[in-house]
Amino acid sequence: METPPRGRIADRISAARDQVFVGREAELRLLRDALAGGPGAPSVLWVHGPGGIGKSALIRQYARMAAADRTVVHIDGRVVPAAPEAFETAAATAVRAPRALLLIDTFEYCQSLEGWLRDEFLPGLPADILVVVAGRHAPDVRWSADPGWADVLKVIALGDLDADEAASFLEKRGVDPARREALLAFACGHPLALVLAAHASAAHDLPASRPWEPASEVVAPLLRNILGELPGPRHRLALEVCAQAHLTTESLLRAMVGDDAPELFAWMREQPYIDRCAEGVFPHDVVREALAADLKWRDPERFDQLYRRLHRHLVERIGSGSRGRLLQDVGSLQFLYRGAGHMAQSHAWYTPGLVEDHPYDPSDEADVLALAERAEGADAAGPVRYWLGNRPQDFRVQRLRGRSAATAFSAWLRPEPFQGREHDPVAEAAWEHVASHGPLTPGQHIVLGRFHVHPRHYQRPSPVMDLMLWRMLGELLRDSGLAWSFIVLRDDGFWDAHMSFCDMAPLDRPVDVGGHPYRLFAHDWRDTSPGDWLAEKQRTLLAGPDDGEAGGPDGSSAPVPSARTMTRPEFAAAVRSALRDLRRPQALEANPLCRSRLVVEHGTTLRDVLVDAVAGLVTGRGGDKAHQVASLAFLEGAPTQEAAARRLGMPYSTYRRHLAIAASRVEETLWQHECSGLPLPRP
Please say whether the beta carbons of 423 and 450 come within 8 A: no
- Residue 284 has a pLDDT of 81
Answer yes or no: is pLDDT of 358 > 80: yes
Helix, strand or coil for residue 178?
helix
Question: What's the burial of 100, exposed, middle or buried (CB within 10 Å: 0-12/13-18/19+)?
Answer: buried
- pTM over cut 0.75: no
* pLDDT tens digits along 523-532: 999 888 888 8
One-letter amino acid of 655: Y
- Residue 669 has a pLDDT of 85
- Residue 439 has a pLDDT of 85
Helices 233-244, 300-320: crossing angle, 10 deg rounding: 60
- Residue 562 has a pLDDT of 33
Mean pLDDT of 637-644: 70
Helix, strand or coil for residue 420?
coil
Answer yes or no: is pLDDT of 386 > 90: yes
Alpha helices for 204-284 (secondary structure H): 216-227, 233-244, 250-257, 261-269
Answer yes or no: is pLDDT of 629 > 70: yes
- Residue 564 has a pLDDT of 42
Mean pLDDT of 257-265: 91
Answer yes or no: is pLDDT of 550 > 50: no
- What is the rounded CA–CA span in Å between residue 510 and residue 491? 7
Residue 52 half-sphere exposure toward CB, CA atoms < 13 A: 25
For residue 506, give Cα distances in angstroms to 108, 203, 275, 526: 58, 49, 41, 18
Answer yes or no: is pLDDT of 545 > 50: no
Q: Residue 168: which residues within 8 A CB-CB, separation 6 or more?
A: 22, 23, 657
Highest-confidence segment of 212-226, 408-422, 602-616: 408-422
The C-alpha angle with vertex 460 and arms to 386 and 177, in degrees rounded to 5, equals 170
**Residue 244 neighbours by CB distance under 10 Å:** 22
Question: What's the burial of 370, exposed, middle or buried (CB within 10 Å: 0-12/13-18/19+)?
Answer: middle
**Residue 459 neighbours by CB distance under 10 Å:** 18
Please say whether the beta carbons of 443 and 387 come within 8 A: no
DSSP 8-state symbol, 523? E
* Distance spanning both ends of the chain, measured CA to CA: 70
More confident residue, 554 or 577: 577
Answer yes or no: is pLDDT of 369 > 90: yes
Phi, psi of 397 (to 5 degrees): -120, 145
- Residue 174 has a pLDDT of 76
DSSP 8-state symbol, 639? S
